[in-house]
Structure 1
Amino acid sequence: MADLKADVLVLGAGMVGVGAALHLQQRGRDVILVDRNELAGEETSFGNAGLIECASVFPYMFPRDFGQILRYAMNRAPQVRYSLADLPAFLPWILRYYLASSPERAQHSAMAELPLIRASLIEHEALIAEAAVPELLRRDGWIKLYRSDATLADALSDFERARQYGVAGHVLDGKAIAAREPNLSGEFSGAIHFPAPGFVPDPGGLAKAYAALFVRKGGRFLVGDARTLEQSAGGWRIGGSNGAAAAREVVVAMGPWSDLVFRPLGYAIPLSVKRGYHLHVAARGNAVLNHPVLDADQGFVLAPMNRGIRLTTGVEFARRDALPTPIQLQRALPRAHALFPLGEAVDAKPWIGARPCLPDMLPVIGKAPRHAGLWFDFGHQHHGLTLGPATGRLLAEMMTGETPFADPTPFAVERFG
């Protein structure tokens, strides 16, 4: 069987890969989208809080407060847990993460990513309109709840910093919280409502809608194994379930599995993962949750998805492929029941996923320095859903010789030596 031919192979059909494929297609490239699954959006893009976080100026950096670090180290913080057995595997990466989180370097990461954050909702709105799925975007923002005066004060300080970069928000007292979310229960020192972020009530469905748009516009979808990728005369070739595909260029957009391609090619990129869990639970009676809600002190989010109320956890540091240990979810579930009237679980078992992260919390976007036609687009940390179309645009502009809308230099792989 003859190989399928294209200009570009995009490996990975999550939000990041689909975003890159669509933007390359818009610029006249013939693209084949490759994934190990038969459908797009079945991995990391399926499980998140559904937020297009256009108000998230500052990345999730490692804390510098000693008390907070001590709670993390003792596995006593609900926001973070680690596997003691996996500690030797990820401790060196944690050290790099800590060093990259100094105030100066954290500010550098924030300013590098800011143009992408600002473009994130704009790029999604354009694709949602073209894909004709307006029901997959809500524009009510989200709410962060704080149970103590100390955590509220820290949040207000961060909010004041963010306001310098155009972030809007409303500080809520108990009465205002109840007005926006009358079914919540608990004692809160206050909350902040961020009205600008978009909310996607079916993140995996949105990735599938974008992939369907890509196919309607002439793109092709191939089920294939990225580990079969090989450099060939004039480009790159990959095996698929119904034959092979070849192209002049290839984009690695495989999120936490990108190392399956770049490591055999000799690139020592410090990619690691932050694992997370979610579970859909039915609302009890006629209770309604109007916004995604973060319980900041207890370390979980409730989001009103199409499938039910999605309970999402914080971060678990463990090997990407280690067995699930949903302790955070088990601890969060009774707290979530106390916060909002929840009924029975909708899912048979919790979902587990892995957020792909680099130590500086910036993705790798751009050309591989030692292989012609090889491009990278991965490592979007907590913002894969948010940034997928925006980084897809940036990458496509670089690949087609346009002037990039944002400075690509901070995202170059060469920053790791």
Structure 2
Amino acid sequence: MTADAIVLGAGIVGVSTALHLARRGKSVVLVDRRGAGEETSYGNAGLIQREGVVPYGFPQQFGQILRYALNNRIDAHYHWRAIPMVSSFLAKYWWNSNLSRHQLIARAYAPLIEHSIDTHNELIEEAGAEDLIVKQGWTEVFRTSAKRDGELREAGRLNREYGVAFKELSPADIAAQEPSLSTDFVGGLKWEDPWSVRDPHALTMAYLRLFEKLGGRFLNGDAKSLSQTATGWRMVAGDGVVEAKDVVVALGPWSDTVTKPLGYRFLVGVKRGYHMHYGTEGNAKLNGWTMDAERGYFLAPMNQGIRLTTGAEFALRDAPKTPVQLDRAEAVARGIFPLGERLDEEPWMGARPCTPDMMPVIGKAPRHSGLWFAFGHAHHGLTLGPATGRAIAEAITGETPFIDISAYRPERFGA
């Protein structure tokens, strides 16, 4: 089997990349070891975060770091045995999170985020997936005035510098918006630009169906079988061998299975996350996507039920599940919203691929012809899938990418 391009990885980034290539008339084979959207893209809060122009940084205040060191929080947890193996990543992550460096990174990161809604919208309309989308923003609720005031100041800065829209909420506003929520909160902040997705996996599948409608092929295969040929690349997939001139590595936290054997050394850490779906008690209803800001968990009204999501777990990618954050979050969440029974047999866990400068790797491999990278999107894989897919597809087909992707080039890590 021959094609113009092979895309490795059928998460939201890989599917979006394959789809954008197919929309440009290329024959594309999309390959994954599992079904599309069944790994990291399956479980998240379901947000297309237009407001997320500032990537999540590492705490800088010594007191805050000490509080995280106690390892008893919902928003962050770590495996002691993993620390020596991830210390290099954490050190560089902390260094890049310094205020001045973080602001420079945000300015380079913003163009991707600024196109998150319009690039999704184009595919949503073409895929007929409008029923999965809610266009009402999302809300942070605050337990203390100090947290509220600090977040509102930051929202004001983002509005001035990046045009991000928000609205301050009083306790009465929160009660009107979420009658089933407790009155524990002193105020809130509604980010007005983001869209929400009722079922992220279903959205990925809608994009996949559009890709296949355009002539694309989805096959199961092992990325480790990839090898270079005199004219391009080949690998074992489906019932045979696929050959193509170009290959895109969009394997998220598993990208090293291809990059390392080819001699590329990217410092990519993993932030694992968990979710669980719940019913509700009585006539309770959650109307919108809501974050308990001080506690660091999210409640989202998904098609499968109320999805409770956790923050970040710093652990080895393939270590067994340790959903202690989920248990902590559930105990707190039941105090502010009448969650019912658990609807999933076990907690879901996914691994977010994170670079130490908080920006994805997007661009051509420096030492191999026809090899392209699109991974490392951390918390914003769903948000940035279509924008990344469009930019990398344009680069592959010789177009000028719609945004400057030089800030995301692989060479910045000495690859």
Normalised by the shorter chain, which TM-score bucket? over 0.9
**Scaled by the length of structure 1, what TM-score is found?**
0.97
Q: Give how far 1:329 is off.
A: 0.3
CA RMSD of aligned residues (A): 0.9
Partner AA of 1:74 in structure 2? L
Q: Distance in 2 between matches of 1:154 and 1:64?
A: 16
Q: 1:95 aligns with which of 91, 95, 98?
A: 91
Q: 2:168 aligns with which of 171, 174, 195?
A: 171
Partner AA of 1:380 in structure 2? H
3-state SS of 1:244 partner:
strand
3-state SS of 1:355 partner:
strand
Q: Give how far 1:98 is off.
A: 0.5
Q: Match for residue 5 of structure 1?
A: 2
Q: Match for residue 264 of structure 1?
A: 261
Within 5 Å, which residues of 2 pair with 1:29-68? Answer: 29-37=26-34, 39-68=35-64
Q: Distance in 2 between matches of 1:27 and 1:103?
A: 41
Determine if contact 2:73/2:325 at 8 Å carries over to the other structure.
no
* Structure 1 gaps, min length 5: none
Q: Match for residue 82 of structure 1?
A: 78
Q: Distance in 2 between matches of 1:95 and 1:60?
A: 15
Q: 2:121 aligns with which of 122, 125, 141?
A: 125
String of CA shifts for 1:38-66, please: whole Å, max 9, x gaps: x2110000000000001112110112122
Within 5 Å, which residues of 2 pair with 1:150-189? Answer: 150-164=146-160, 165-189=162-186
> Number of matched residues?
413
Partner AA of 2:164 in structure 1? V
Determine if contact 2:71/2:78 at 8 Å carries over to the other structure.
yes
Over 6 Å off, 4+ runs: none
Q: Match for residue 108 of structure 2?
A: 112
2:271 maps to 1:245:
no
3-state SS of 1:383 partner:
helix
Q: Distance in 1 between matches of 2:11 and 2:341?
A: 29
Determine if contact 2:74/2:326 at 8 Å carries over to the other structure.
no
Q: Match for residue 327 of structure 2?
A: 330
Q: Distance in 1 between matches of 2:154 and 2:239?
A: 51
Q: Distance in 1 between matches of 2:104 and 2:399?
A: 25
* Structure 2 gaps, min length 5: none
Determine if contact 1:20/1:391 at 8 Å carries over to the other structure.
yes
Q: Give how far 1:192 is off.
A: 0.2
Q: 1:202 aligns with which of 199, 206, 228?
A: 199
Q: Distance in 1 between matches of 2:183 and 2:241?
A: 57
Q: Give how far 1:307 is off.
A: 0.2
String of CA shifts for 1:232-270, please: whole Å, max 9, x gaps: 121111112311211001000010100110011110111
3-state SS of 1:287 partner:
coil
Determine if contact 1:112/1:407 at 8 Å carries over to the other structure.
no
3-state SS of 1:85 partner:
helix
Q: Give how far 1:225 is off.
A: 0.4
Q: 1:144 aligns with which of 140, 143, 146?
A: 140
Q: Give how far 1:107 is off.
A: 1.3
Q: 1:351 aligns with which of 348, 352, 356?
A: 348
Q: Distance in 2 between matches of 1:104 and 1:22?
A: 37
2:278 maps to 1:281:
yes
Q: Match for residue 225 of structure 1?
A: 222
Q: Distance in 2 between matches of 1:303 and 1:142?
A: 9
Q: Match for residue 398 of structure 2?
A: 401
3-state SS of 1:86 partner:
helix
Q: 2:411 aligns with which of 406, 411, 414?
A: 414
Determine if contact 2:361/2:409 at 8 Å carries over to the other structure.
yes
Partner AA of 1:286 in structure 2? N
Q: Distance in 2 between matches of 1:244 and 1:89?
A: 36
Determine if contact 1:51/1:385 at 8 Å carries over to the other structure.
yes
Q: Give how far 1:150 is off.
A: 1.8
**Scaled by the length of structure 2, what TM-score is found?**
0.98
3-state SS of 2:313 partner:
strand
Q: Match for residue 318 of structure 2?
A: 321
Q: Give how far 1:111 is off.
A: 1.1
Q: Give how far 1:187 is off.
A: 1.4
Partner AA of 1:91 in structure 2? S
Question: In terms of mean alpha carbon deviation, does 160-169 or 359-368 score higher?
Answer: 160-169
Determine if contact 1:186/1:338 at 8 Å carries over to the other structure.
no
